């Protein structure tokens, strides 16, 4: 299992990056699962237009939604990241959100200021709307998920953690 995150503020392109990578990996023979961290209390888990529905349409054979008031695989409480990872046995797990979790990640942003606000040493690339403005930032590549998905995917495979227990330990009480 290879695990990495796509983190950014709202409306910066996180879900587009997750979709592009899920589609790329699944079309290249990998099994893909996603875990969505959301602070939105009014989510509908079965909505195909929602992020997790979009993840499944893009190729994720499993999708876990973690929200303040709901988790799917359906529980009536929020699961921890560690609990959610126990459900998955996939080649690749993409965790969307999880800004405070220090695991390998792609940071999405609209500009350099937003990228800097979330920057951590584990960031191996930037993407999202920021890709229209720069080609590198803080010595990391800034890649367009639509035109450079192969490069973004290669970096994700290179940097991803391979140990779900290590990710769960890093998540600790944060998630």
Q: DSSP string spanning 148-163?
A: SHHHHHHHHHHH-B--
Mind listing the pLDDT tens digit for each residue in 63-80? 777 888 867 654 556 778
Say what the alpha-carbon torsion angle 161, 151, 134, 103 is, to the nearest 10 degrees: 0
Mind listing the pLDDT tens digit for each residue in 114-127? 999 999 999 999 99
Confidence at residue 87, expressed as pLDDT on a 0 to 100 scale? 84
Confidence at residue 77, expressed as pLDDT on a 0 to 100 scale? 66
Residues 6 or more apart whose CB falls under 8 angstroms from that of 129 comprise 12, 13, 108, 109, 110, 111
Instruction: Give me the chain's average pLDDT, please.
Output: 89
Tokens (6 digits) for 172: 């600790």
- Predicted structure pTM score: 0.83
Kindly state the DSSP code that residue 78 receives in the 8-state scheme.
P
Please give the average per-residue pLDDT across 142-170, as a whole number. Answer: 94
CATH class of 2-171: alpha beta
Mind listing the pLDDT tens digit for each residue in 42-101? 655 556 667 877 887 888 877 777 888 867 654 556 778 888 888 899 999 999 999 999
Confidence at residue 74, expressed as pLDDT on a 0 to 100 scale? 41
**Alpha-carbon 91 to chain mean position:** 14
Residues 6 or more apart whose CB falls under 8 angstroms from that of 42 comprise 69
């Amino acid at each position: 299992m290879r695990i990495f995150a796509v983190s950014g503020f709202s409306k910066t392109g996180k879900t587009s990056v997750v979709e592009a990578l899920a589609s790329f990996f699944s079309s290249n023979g990998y099994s893909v699962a996603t875990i969505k961290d959301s602070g939105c209390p009014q989510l509908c888990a079965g909505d195909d237009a929602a992020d997790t529905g979009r993840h499944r349409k893009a190729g994720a054979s499993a999708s876990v939604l973690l929200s303040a008031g709901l988790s799917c695989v359906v529980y009536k409480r929020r699961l921890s990241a560690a609990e959610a990872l126990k459900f998955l046995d996939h080649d690749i797990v993409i965790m969307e959100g999880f800004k405070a979790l220090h695991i390998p990640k792609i940071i999405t942003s609209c500009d350099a200021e937003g990228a800097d606000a979330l920057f951590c040493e584990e960031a191996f690339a930037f993407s999202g709307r920021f890709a229209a403005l720069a080609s590198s930032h803080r010595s990391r590549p800034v890649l367009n998920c639509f035109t450079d998905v192969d490069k973004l995917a290669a970096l994700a495979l290179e940097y991803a953690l391979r140990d779900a227990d290590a990710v769960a330990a890093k998540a600790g009480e944060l998630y």
